[in-house]
Chains A and B, each alone.
Chain A
Amino acid sequence: MPSGLLQQLPALQVVLPLLAAPLALLIRHKTIVWALCVAVSWTALAIAWSLLQQVLANGPISYAMGGWVAPWGIEYRIDTVNAYVALIVTGIASVVFPYARRSVEREIPEHKIALFYTLMLLCFTGLLGITVTGDVFNIFVFLEISSLSTYALISLGQDRRALTAAFQYLIMGTIGGTFFLIGIGFLYVITGTLNIADLSQRLPEVTQLRTLHTAFAFVVVGIGLKLAIFPLHLWLPNAYAFAPSVATIFVAATSTKVAVYALMRMVFSVFGPSLAYQDLPFGRIVFTLALLGLLTASTVAIFQHNIKRMLAYSSVAQIGYIVLGIGLGTVAGIQASLLHIFNHALMKGALFMAMGCLFYRLGPISLESMRGIGHRMPWTFAAFVISGLSLIGVPLTVGFISKWYLITATLEQGLWFLALAVLLGSLLAVVYVWRVVEAAWFGPPSTAAADVREAPLPMLITTWALVLANVYFGINTDLTIGVAGAAARTLLGGAP
């Protein structure tokens, strides 16, 4: 690759899917549009990988958008943290798009398929934009790009409840976005800048200002709504349950992860850990909510009949684990959070993909309609079981790695009751995963399951690619642990 192009990679990461979106709208032919999406997502993955290598070798990359230098222009700044998150987002996208073709043909009306892909690309653009930008206002804009396209994606579900779910998400998401906007407005009033690096230099001079504390509260609550942190999670279960399968996979595996990244970036890089953890009770509030969230949501998941809804509640619980690490505020805690971002994307992606395969053959999936399906669709079912084990945290899967690091991080602080809660959460996960296994394998076959075949091959292959990734990164942890550790140290201000 010529070096000139190499320097433009941070911009291309966002511009590529952004240009592909209207292109998809113009082409309209469903197979060509799908191929375009696959090509874009793979190229984006290659860009993210090459950026990560550059960052690991030479330190942070700063890119001046349009040639306007940092505090005046918009800066795209890539360090270990964003490179890592961008890798997760593009990695998931490059598996979801190849999977999408058959599933989308089944679930989306013919004339809307190209529009569906356009929305997916826009959502992809927004998520990548949040990760690579170094400007807080830009984060807001990309947050809204991804959110708006997500509302529309959810509303394309076949069930009419998808519409009300999308509307509920729109109301809560917009309130969240507006809170965030108010927060950054206050930051601008205090410092006169919107650049993250600039903000982090100027804010420590004014830590006692009440405007700053108000800004902090607005920003955290605003992102908390997008993140679905425990009491603000109400939009999530229905949105995931009734959205089209492909949209659920993509949104569940990436969008809350990117919101976690935005939270970390704002709390650690902009406000600084000393303001958040010493002047304000951020750590205590967050880990109390995380604790409540992971226990309640896991318990609620046990009583769900709709399996997608059950997995959505499990997502709320898993977000609890992720924020728990942030609540600890130590390098080990942040590392565990970052690890779980990666690992949860893999396991939830795989689980929802297995759900998509079942949906392809069965339609809406409840415990009843799933009875006996394990014998009819053994490969899909095996994929579900392995990623379910990963969700529980069985050794040799990624779930084990992140829970291990999380428990070590809590014990390091002497917070043994948090470690116990993590273990309890895993036990609850055993219960809800087992309910599905019991129904699907040991139950008498339902009438719906009597004459179904295995899911189409392309869908199975991509599902298994993610399932194998669950196992591979559970055994070979060099990449994830190494990069997550370096990223955690960057966030807390140590040497990268």
Chain B
Amino acid sequence: MRFLQLYNYEIAIFLAMVGFYVVVSRGNLVKKVTGLFIFQTSVFVLYISMGVVLGGSVPILTEGAQRYSNPLPHVLILTAIVVGVATTAVALALIVRIKEAYGTVEEDEIHQQDQYF
């Protein structure tokens, strides 16, 4: 049962592995960025999960609430989301420029065009 209780952590690990695998295995730059974003999202899930306090209510002052969930991880992850969005934006902008310069977004075709590796 313990396995099921920790399901959000397992989802986080699963997402992280999926994202990481996509980054490593795909040659298409857009897919790589997608994988990277999934990888980052898994960390958001991880952080939000750790803020949970059993039996705690939402961290807003309400009548009758005895315990509150920890809001700090949420705040942290808001910052991390902003970082993630910025990274994706920069990455996509770079892909646009790469497409203009090389005419392709496939990694192996780019490598073929400049044989420097």
Question: A152 to B92, alpha carbons, bound, how many Å?
Answer: 12
* Also in contact, A182 and B46, with CB within 8 A (given A163-B101, A171-B23): yes
Find out whether the CB atom of B73 lies under 8 angstroms from the CB atom of A171. Answer: no
* Also in contact, A181 and B43, with CB within 8 A (given A160-B101, A161-B114): yes
Q: Does A378 contact B (CB under 8 A)?
A: no
Find out whether the CB atom of A189 lies under 8 angstroms from the CB atom of B50. Answer: yes
Residue-wise interface mask of A (126-164) relative to B, using a CB-CB cutoff of 8 A (1 in contact, 0 not): 000000000001001100100010011001000011011
Q: Does B62 contact A (CB under 8 A)?
A: no
> What residues of B have a CB within 8 angstroms of the CB of A167 in the complex?
29, 91, 94-95, 98
> What residues of B have a CB within 8 angstroms of the CB of A170 in the complex?
87, 90-91, 94
Which of A141, A152, A160 has most chain B Cβ within 10 Å?
Answer: A160
Q: Does A185 contact B (CB under 8 A)?
A: yes
Find out whether the CB atom of A144 lies under 8 angstroms from the CB atom of B87. Answer: yes
Question: A175 to B35, alpha carbons, bound, how many Å?
Answer: 11
Residue-wise interface mask of A (171-194) relative to B, using a CB-CB cutoff of 8 A (1 in contact, 0 not): 100110110011001001100000
Find out whether the CB atom of B90 lies under 8 angstroms from the CB atom of A152. Answer: yes
Find out whether the CB atom of B102 lies under 8 angstroms from the CB atom of A160. Answer: yes
* Also in contact, A171 and B79, with CB within 8 A (given A178-B43, A182-B43): no
Chain A nearest Cβ from B112, distance in angstroms: 12
Residue from B23, B43, B90, B98 in contact with A164 in the complex, judged by beta carbons closer than 8 Å: B98
Residue from A141, A155, A174, A182 in contact with B97 in the complex, judged by beta carbons closer than 8 Å: A155
Which of A140, A144, A166, A181 has most chain B Cβ within 10 Å?
Answer: A181
A residues 98-146 touching B (CB-CB < 8 Å)? 137, 140-141, 144
Residue-wise interface mask of B (78-110) relative to A, using a CB-CB cutoff of 8 A (1 in contact, 0 not): 011001001100110011011001100000001
Question: A177 to B80, alpha carbons, bound, how many Å?
Answer: 10
Which of A137, A152, A167, A175 has most chain B Cβ within 10 Å?
Answer: A167
Q: Does B47 contact A (CB under 8 A)?
A: yes
> What residues of B have a CB within 8 angstroms of the CB of A163 in the complex?
94, 97-98, 101
Find out whether the CB atom of A148 lies under 8 angstroms from the CB atom of B86. Answer: yes
Which of A141, A155, A178 has most chain B Cβ within 10 Å?
Answer: A178
| Interface residue tally for chain A (C-beta within 8 Å) | 26
Find out whether the CB atom of B50 lies under 8 angstroms from the CB atom of A185. Answer: yes
> What residues of B have a CB within 8 angstroms of the CB of A189 in the complex?
50
Question: A160 to B103, alpha carbons, bound, how many Å?
Answer: 12
Find out whether the CB atom of B50 lies under 8 angstroms from the CB atom of A178. Answer: no
> What residues of B have a CB within 8 angstroms of the CB of A137 in the complex?
76, 79
Find out whether the CB atom of B50 lies under 8 angstroms from the CB atom of A151. Answer: no
Residue-wise interface mask of B (52-93) relative to A, using a CB-CB cutoff of 8 A (1 in contact, 0 not): 000000000000000000001100100110010011001100
> What residues of A have a CB within 8 angstroms of the CB of B98 in the complex?
160, 163-164, 167
Question: A229 to B103, alpha carbons, bound, how many Å?
Answer: 33
**Which residue in chain B gives the minimum CB-CB distance to A169?**
B94
Find out whether the CB atom of A171 lies under 8 angstroms from the CB atom of B36. Answer: yes
Question: A3 to B54, alpha carbons, bound, how many Å?
Answer: 49
> What residues of B have a CB within 8 angstroms of the CB of A148 in the complex?
83, 86-87, 90
> What residues of B have a CB within 8 angstroms of the CB of A177 in the complex?
83
Chain A nearest Cβ from B81, distance in angstroms: 11
Question: A267 to B9, alpha carbons, bound, how many Å?
Answer: 26
Find out whether the CB atom of A185 lies under 8 angstroms from the CB atom of B83. Answer: no
Find out whether the CB atom of B76 lies under 8 angstroms from the CB atom of A151. Answer: no
Chain A nearest Cβ from B99, distance in angstroms: 10
> What residues of B have a CB within 8 angstroms of the CB of A141 in the complex?
79, 83
Residue-wise interface mask of A (255-270) relative to B, using a CB-CB cutoff of 8 A (1 in contact, 0 not): 0000000000000000
Q: Does B116 contact A (CB under 8 A)?
A: yes
**Which residue in chain A gives the minimum CB-CB distance to B32?**
A171
* Also in contact, A151 and B46, with CB within 8 A (given A141-B79, A144-B87, A181-B80): no
Which of B29, B39, B40, B80 has most chain A Cβ within 10 Å?
Answer: B80
> What residues of A have a CB within 8 angstroms of the CB of B79 in the complex?
137, 141
> What residues of B have a CB within 8 angstroms of the CB of A171 in the complex?
23, 32, 36, 91
Chain A nearest Cβ from B48, distance in angstroms: 10
Chain B nearest Cβ from A492, distance in angstroms: 30
Find out whether the CB atom of B110 lies under 8 angstroms from the CB atom of A164. Answer: yes
Find out whether the CB atom of B36 lies under 8 angstroms from the CB atom of A175. Answer: yes
Residue from B20, B43, B87, B95 in contact with A185 in the complex, judged by beta carbons closer than 8 Å: B43
Chain A nearest Cβ from B68, distance in angstroms: 14
Chain A nearest Cβ from B88, distance in angstroms: 9
> What residues of A have a CB within 8 angstroms of the CB of B46 in the complex?
182, 185
* Also in contact, A175 and B23, with CB within 8 A (given A166-B94, A182-B43, A188-B73): yes
> What residues of A have a CB within 8 angstroms of the CB of B40 in the complex?
174, 178
**Which residue in chain A gives the minimum CB-CB distance to B94?**
A167
Question: A238 to B114, alpha carbons, bound, how many Å?
Answer: 12
Residue-wise interface mask of A (318-354) relative to B, using a CB-CB cutoff of 8 A (1 in contact, 0 not): 0000000000000000000000000000000000000
Find out whether the CB atom of A185 lies under 8 angstroms from the CB atom of B36. Answer: no
Find out whether the CB atom of A188 lies under 8 angstroms from the CB atom of B36. Answer: no
Additional A-B contacts beyond A137-B79, A140-B83, A160-B114 (9; CB < 8 A): A141-B83, A144-B87, A148-B86, A161-B116, A167-B91, A178-B39, A185-B73, A188-B73, A189-B50
The 8 closest A-B pairs by CB, nearest first: A160-B101, A144-B83, A163-B98, A167-B94, A189-B50, A163-B97, A174-B87, A170-B91
List 12 A-B pairs, Cβ < 8 Å: A140-B83, A141-B83, A148-B86, A148-B90, A155-B97, A160-B101, A170-B87, A170-B91, A171-B32, A178-B40, A178-B43, A185-B43
